A and B are shown apart, each in its own frame.
Chain A
Amino acid sequence: MLVDVHAHLWKGSYEENKKTILRLAEKYHVNRFYISSLGSLYPDKEEIAELNGATCAFIKEHPELISGYCYVNPSLENSLETLRRGIEDQGMSGMKLWVATFCDDPRVYPLAEKCIQYGIPILIHSFYKAVHQLKYESLGENVARLAARYPEAKILMAHLGANCYTQLKPVRYLKNVSVDISGSLYRKGEVDYAVKMLGVRRVLFGSDAPEANFLVSCGQVEESCLSEREKALIYGGNAVRLFDRSVPAGSISEKERK
């Protein structure tokens, strides 16, 4: 099973992006993509509505393949209603936070509480940059603060925090935080390092396609020192558990424990 928990449609390129994702699915036998639609860094209400509309349309076109995250800008006063609509009316499966606010901004708290009620994961863009860090771009420490405040929240920290060697330690003891390997991260050894820090059950496959190359992420898993069983967890097993609303955050079943 192959589940990509991190892919996008980009404003202005919806149709082109959809074609690319469908082609990737066919060519590489992807069972499911979890999509969020993104545009400007600090979107207003209208843009948010358009973006989530694009995600929703893609889900409806290909329900057998596409699931979606509801993208919210926590600085907008209607963000809670946006989340409600996305999950209850538009059939989305998670919430996406990008760079409009830090993920531990108090304006995120009611959103996180709602996600706990829904039992859905929160995908958080987390990206340390040695250069060109954005003003509200979350780091591992921001993710850790939100996760510690809400241990029942299912948090998916994206991109291994970009620099896994500095960004994973803040979340390593927070069992409700998983990470995805998506993005333009292509250094050898990063999947092994993430597994060493967090354990294999908290590492998920993602690509950040269509912007980032799908096969780069595949290569990272393939070249890791993990067993085939462990790779299968990263490729899909962990995602199935994370998106199962009946499974509490950070839990491991008795079977898995054994």
Chain B
Amino acid sequence: MERMDANCLIGNWPFRKAGRSTLEELRKIHSENRIHGGCVASLNSIFYNDPFEGEEELHDFLKGTEYRQVMTVNPTLPGGIEDIAEGARRFEIAGVRIYPGYHGYALSDPCVGPLCAELEKRRLPLFLPLRMEDERLNYLVTPRPVTVREIKGFLSGHPNLAVIFLGAKPYEIESLGEEIAGRPNLFFDMSGLKDGQFNVERFLKNYGDKKLLYGSMYPLYCLKSSILQLETAEIPDSSKMRIFSGNLQLILSQNADQPVSGC
């Protein structure tokens, strides 16, 4: 059964020593857990003045590997749309990550619309972390969590955009039940399933097995904490296969720019 990680990062998380990872470390823990490949984003890009510099660094690490690059964009900065075009051309990006809570904007702000239009045009998914760490554990900076209410408004304005929510907690997923049931292009990773028991079974019972992706949020979260939930879930092997890799592969195959030759 092929395993992929839809939500992992390399780079430095500035608030604690454990929150840093190199490609070698990521590969090691993935290998130990039989994961081969996935979507990698840059921690550095969240904090750089020019996030694209972080993307160039990331590409240097990932090129020629089994991993796909997810590009971090701050749409409040000028040139973000052009950066996406360049990222697609040079890095064959698998999607774009945004951080409204860290970069100080709301999903309803005008800067978000053009970014979403560009992603729709390229048939690239938006990776949307609701949080990077539990709000109660923030240190030095207090990023605003993305709220369910904000998400509902955002989704109604972008019906054709594929969105992968990262780090959503079970109660947040349940609050979006109507939206999840109503459109096929919304997905959730597993990294936020920290409350309650038997979350995978409950998710599948409510929404089926086509909307959940294995994602660890490594190195900020323990990879083992999420993978144990999927490994021990009492669901059919075919569903596990979808969650471990099938759903992500299907999303990535929609990209209008793929395959890109000559890069």
A residues with CB within 8 A of B:
20, 23-24, 27-28, 127-132, 162-163, 165-166, 184-190, 192-193, 209-220, 222-223
Cα A215 to Cα B190 with chains together (Å): 13
Q: Which of B19, B137, B139, B196 contacts A213 (CB 8 A)?
A: B196
Task: Tell me the minimal C-beta distance from B109 to chain A in angstroms.
Answer: 23
19 contacts between A and B (CB under 8 A): A130-B139, A130-B142, A131-B135, A131-B138, A163-B136, A184-B134, A186-B134, A188-B18, A211-B195, A213-B193, A213-B194, A213-B197, A213-B199, A213-B225, A214-B197, A215-B228, A220-B224, A223-B222, A223-B223
B221 within 8 A of A: yes
B17 within 8 A of A: yes
Closest A residue to B140 by CB, please name it.
A130
Say yes or no: B224 contacts A223, CB within 8 Å. yes
Known contacts A192-B18, A212-B196; 19 further A-B pairs (Cβ under 8 A): A128-B136, A130-B137, A131-B135, A131-B142, A163-B139, A166-B139, A186-B225, A187-B133, A187-B137, A187-B220, A187-B221, A188-B222, A188-B223, A210-B196, A212-B195, A213-B196, A215-B228, A220-B224, A222-B228
B225 proximity list for chain A (CB < 8 A): 186, 213, 215-220, 223
Say yes or no: A209 contacts B197, CB within 8 Å. yes
Closest B residue to A190 by CB, please name it.
B18
Q: Which of A23, A212, A213 contacts B229 (CB 8 A)?
A: A213
Cα A223 to Cα B220 with chains together (Å): 12
Which 4 A-B pairs rank lowest in CB-CB distance, beginning with the nearest? A189-B18, A219-B225, A219-B224, A223-B224
Cα A24 to Cα B232 with chains together (Å): 11
Closest B residue to A210 by CB, please name it.
B197
A23 proximity list for chain B (CB < 8 A): 197
A214 proximity list for chain B (CB < 8 A): 197
Closest A residue to B29 by CB, please name it.
A223
Q: Which of B17, B134, B193, B224 contacts A218 (CB 8 A)?
A: B224
